[in-house]
Structure 1
């Protein structure tokens, strides 16, 4: 049985990309009182990453950063990070995992979150990239007048990045480096 599963994964039988694209599409119906739905927010964030010349995995990370909101608003970054964990670098995983904390600077103190929460990561090698992610890509991606490429435009990139099992933090090499 293990051989069948391994062969299925090697041959592209794992439909992770299809499921991720379906979850992204479901974000079209999640608005959260914002001027755009969560799919449009994801597309705007990915477009900003692409315009900035980000690597493929970071464009996909930007597209999928709020993917967890298809399930729950709480801890949505961790949900998205775990879905992409086997396919992205340790840095991209960490940025996804902690992007909510990097956005706390935007929330008033009365919400009970520490607006300086991101500073606990300031010595991490991915800290500067996470600041760019949060402040330049994620923060302003709520404009109802911005036109972005549709989800279909990003589908091949999602399929490419999510077809690299073992290349991300889920591999033994990256797991050892992350510790």
Structure 2
């Protein structure tokens, strides 16, 4: 078990990060903060387990941590935000949170490969990042992705991710997830 002060401190660190940098945009019609809470909202509505709700909330934290700026994709740079996110969050959370995050870009590539209609629904920003992230998967990449134990959870996260981009959505704020995050951190005992 993690001490409550350690869990509180990590949640405060996350809250500070989202407060300071959550207003940044990354090519979508919503800010990082809006996208995070909308994505978590969709996970909750779907009855996702707490680990997946946390993953939905925090999956793009790497966008705010990378040092290449808001327009990295416009410059043709893949920031590999999914790896930044998963690595940073592994300090406090277990694989139930970090693995779907690590795979959520691969999940987009997989969905585009196997579902042409999905490709048509992607936003222009998501299409731009898809090209930088490798585009559709090869048969070998599909096999590797599907063999990963977290693949199905990552596909669920991907669905919430796509749903969490509405400029007009009104959902609960980041602070409503504090207890969920603390409880997961306490349970993992990583800090």
- The alpha carbon displacement at 1:150 in A equals 1.0
Q: 1:32 aligns with which of 2, 26, 29?
A: 26
Query: Is 1:149–2:172 an aligned residue pair?
Result: yes
Structure with higher RCO (Cα < 8 A, 6+ apart): 2
Larger mean Cα displacement after TM superposition, 94-103 or 143-152? 94-103
1:11 and 1:158, CA in 2 relative to 1: closer, same or farther beyond 3 A?
A: closer
**What is aligned with 1:176?**
none
1:30 and 1:52, CA in 2 relative to 1: closer, same or farther beyond 3 A?
A: same
The CA RMSD over aligned residues, in Å, is 2.7
CA shift digits 1:11-50 (9 cap, x unpaired): 5246111101111223432112321101100001000111
Which structure 2 segments of 5+ residues have no match? 67-71, 73-78, 113-118, 120-126
Distance 2:131 2:88 in 1: 32
Distance 1:161 1:96 in 2: 15
Q: How many residues align?
A: 160
- The alpha carbon displacement at 1:165 in A equals 4.2
- The alpha carbon displacement at 1:63 in A equals 0.3
**What is aligned with 2:152?**
128
Larger mean Cα displacement after TM superposition, 50-59 or 20-29? 20-29
CA shift digits 1:79-108 (9 cap, x unpaired): 221222244443432211121222233536
Distance 1:152 1:93 in 2: 20
Which structure 1 segments of 5+ residues have no match? 1-8, 172-179
Larger mean Cα displacement after TM superposition, 149-158 or 118-127? 118-127
Checking the alignment, whether the CA contact within 8 Å between 1:34 and 1:142 is kept in structure 2 is yes
- The alpha carbon displacement at 1:77 in A equals 1.2
Q: TM-score, normalised by structure 1?
A: 0.76
Moved over 3 A (4+): 86-89, 108-112
- The alpha carbon displacement at 1:138 in A equals 0.5
**What is aligned with 2:37?**
43
1:140 and 1:86, CA in 2 relative to 1: closer, same or farther beyond 3 A?
A: same
1:11 and 1:162, CA in 2 relative to 1: closer, same or farther beyond 3 A?
A: closer
Checking the alignment, whether the CA contact within 8 Å between 1:47 and 1:149 is kept in structure 2 is yes
